[in-house]
Amino acid sequence: MKKIGLFDIDGVIADTGKAMIDIVQNDLNKKWVSVEDIVEYDVTKLSWLNNHEIEHLLTKFCQPEFYYYIPPMPYAAEVTDILRQKGWEIILVTARPPFLYDITLYWLKKYSIHFNSLISSRPEEKINYCVNNDKCFLVEDRGDLLLQIEEKMPQMKLFIYDQPWNRRINIGKRIKTLKEIVEVLGI
């Protein structure tokens, strides 16, 4: 049976929260804000941003340069390398729109992230790449999406990458670093 590891990118492989906070601190001059203050997945719901600031951030999120400067999550290169060596097929499934595909590919190579395929998918379509057995796992930071997937794919292993915007949701195995995946899988 094929072993498949599905990884989301933003908030899992890429430290997108950190990149967003860099903009908030430097462009919006809110030096006191940290990643811990991103308590909503949807930035338009963050109480510490006004409409003008939200617009500034949303504009940045549409620019390929933003994605160029995102730092990788710790152990992303090492863990994907180990999994590939142990026979896991790694599929990166991201909700980033297709116009960000090239910069994403460039970024993944730059940081030596190992993978078999990179798929741009709408969030609700991520489930199409899941397989309902214990030889398939998904790592995701979006809690609502994991809840939907768990309902339809109860056999799959689900990892929720701990982020301030998903702490209210109790689902799957909560991990604070990607290294924990290797431990849970017993590799």
Contact between 10 and Mg ion per CB under 5 A: yes
Catalytic pick among 10, 37, 81, 102: 10
Query: What does the alpha-carbon distance between residue 124 and residue 102 come to, in Å, rounded to a whole number?
Result: 22
Catalytic pick among 8, 134, 144, 162: 8
Burial label, 70 (beta-carbon count in 10 A; 0-12, 13-18, 19+):
buried
Contact between 15 and Mg ion per CB under 5 A: no
Residues 6+ apart with CB under 8 A from 75: 177, 178, 179
Instruction: Closer to Mg ion by CB, 51 or 75: give it.
Output: 75
CA dihedral of residues 42, 48, 51, 55 (deg, nearest 10) = -60
Known active-site residue 10: yes
CB of 131 to Mg ion, least distance (A): 20
CB of 28 to Mg ion, least distance (A): 22
Known active-site residue 37: no
Instruction: Closer to Mg ion by CB, 133 or 150: give it.
Output: 150
Query: What does the alpha-carbon distance between residue 59 and residue 174 come to, in Å, rounded to a whole number?
Result: 31
| Contact mark string toward Mg ion, 96..135, x via CB under 5 A | ----------------------------------------
DSSP 122-179: -GGGGGGG--SSTTEEEEES-HHHHHHHHHH-TTSEEEEE--GGGTT---SEEESSTH
Query: What does the alpha-carbon distance between residue 13 and residue 73 come to, in Å, rounded to a whole number?
Result: 5
Query: What does the alpha-carbon distance between residue 139 and residue 55 come to, in Å, rounded to a whole number?
Result: 29
Give residue number: closest CB to Mg ion.
11
- Please give the residues from 133 up to 152 whose contact with Mg ion meets the rule CB under 5 A: 141
CB of 136 to Mg ion, least distance (A): 18
CB of 16 to Mg ion, least distance (A): 7
Site size for Mg ion (CB under 5 A)? 4
Positions that interact with Mg ion (CB under 5 A): 8, 10-11, 141
The set of catalytic residues is 8, 10
